[in-house]
Amino acid sequence: MKKSLLFLLSFLGLFTSGFAQTNAVSYQKNDNTLLWEVSGNGLANPSYLFGTFHLMCKDDMFFSKNFTNALSNANTLVMEIDLSDAKNTFGAMEFLKMKNDTTLKKILSQNEYNRLTSFFKDSLKMSLSFFENMKPVFLQALFYPKMMSCKQSGSLEEAIMAQAKKANKQIKGLETIELQSALLDNISYTEQAKTLMELIDDFKNQKLNFEQLLMSYKSQNAMEMSKLIESDPELKNQKPELLDNRNINWVKQFEMLMPNASLFVAVGAGHLFGEMGLIQLLREKGYQLKPIENKN
């Protein structure tokens, strides 16, 4: 259960990991990488940005030599949520629940509820009753392992965190599970439920879309990732809240931390690119952002 909980806690990153718009931002061919160096602007030591994809087949997970060197050079690992902090794990289930005693039965029609129950039983081999009061958007996280072609999947964040712990590096989180959950409360539960039902009713095509997105991530093709996601109206409507405003807040945190520490920032890949992405926002603050080759 602990492993499943950690995956649910990192779901907001998965929800946005591939979302990036590139309007008004020019990228070169060698910019198609997930690893970037941040320097200049008076920094004594560089920091690094790395774009993650929160769930992958274990056989597809790798850490390049440049990745390993960058993590080794940094003294602090920064993630969206510090999953090593007990405050973000123990009691976290309370933040995954809907408010005001709302349940799935209350926001779904009887037909929809029956279809969802059958999907959980037949496809996920789980009982829906355990998740009756959970926010529908979090339930989507349980579907992604079924979209993958492998039997063994893993989290890049957990693997990176394990390396950082082994090297006795400090670990920080940009947000708490309470804050992330509050963001999702701004999306109506009815809207979340609608998206959830669309996912199970069109699961075959959704699986193909997920596989395409994952392939573009594995090839580190930022432009292709953007094109695949830009047409998603659900994400477009929530982009300012789920991406832009969070990126602005994160840059403020980086500016406070980087003068005194070399950071290795590992966040969903969708946060890196675009005119409101971390790369562009840091450049506007006067930092130099250099792409680093990240190949196996």
**Is there a domain that residue 266 lies in?**
yes
Q: How many alpha carbons fall within 13 Å on the CB side of residue 109?
A: 5
**Is there a domain that residue 28 lies in?**
no
Closest by CA position to 264, among listed 165, 155, 137: 165
| pTM listed for this prediction | 0.86
Q: Which two tokens stand for residue 117?
A: 């129950």
Average pLDDT for 225-239:
60
Q: Is the dihedral of CA 92, 213, 19, 288 positive or negative?
A: positive
Q: What is the pLDDT of residue 47?
A: 98
Instruction: Annotate 46-96 with DSSP letters as a single string.
Output: -EEEEEE-S-EEGGG----HHHHHHHHH-SEEEEEE-TTSGGGTTTTHHHH
Say how far apart CA 279 and CA 54 lie, in whole Å.
20
Q: What is the pLDDT of residue 285?
A: 97
**Is there a domain that residue 26 lies in?**
no
- pLDDT of residue 292 exceeding 80: yes
Say how far apart CA 46 and CA 152 lie, in whole Å.
35
At residue 254 the predicted structure's pLDDT band, cuts being 50, 70 and 90, is very high
Q: What is the mean pLDDT of the chain?
A: 83
CA distances from 141 to 57, 134, 165, 216, 253 (A): 15, 12, 26, 20, 28
Query: Is the separation of the CB atoms in 37 and 290 below 8 Å?
Result: yes
**Is there a domain that residue 185 lies in?**
yes
At residue 41 the predicted structure's pLDDT band, cuts being 50, 70 and 90, is very high
pLDDT digits (tens, 9 = 90+) for 131-164: 999 999 888 888 888 888 888 888 888 899 999 9
**By three-state DSSP, how is residue 43 classified?**
coil
pLDDT digits (tens, 9 = 90+) for 67-80: 999 999 999 999 99
- pLDDT of residue 30 exceeding 70: no
Pairing of strands 76-81, 47-52: unpaired
Range of the structural domain that residue 56 is part of: 2-20+36-292
Please tell me which residue, 128 or 231, carries the higher pLDDT value: 128
CA 3 to chain centre: 16
The H or E element spanning position 205 is helix 203-218
Q: What is the pLDDT of residue 82?
A: 85
At residue 2 the predicted structure's pLDDT band, cuts being 50, 70 and 90, is very low
- pLDDT of residue 278 exceeding 70: yes
Instruction: Annotate 255-266 with DSSP letters as a single string.
Output: HHHTTT--EEEE
Average pLDDT for 213-222:
84
Number of domains in the chain: 1
**Is there a domain that residue 212 lies in?**
yes
Query: Is the separation of the CB atoms in 16 and 235 below 8 Å?
Result: yes
CA distances from 175 to 18, 53, 192, 247 (A): 19, 18, 22, 11
**Is there a domain that residue 30 lies in?**
no
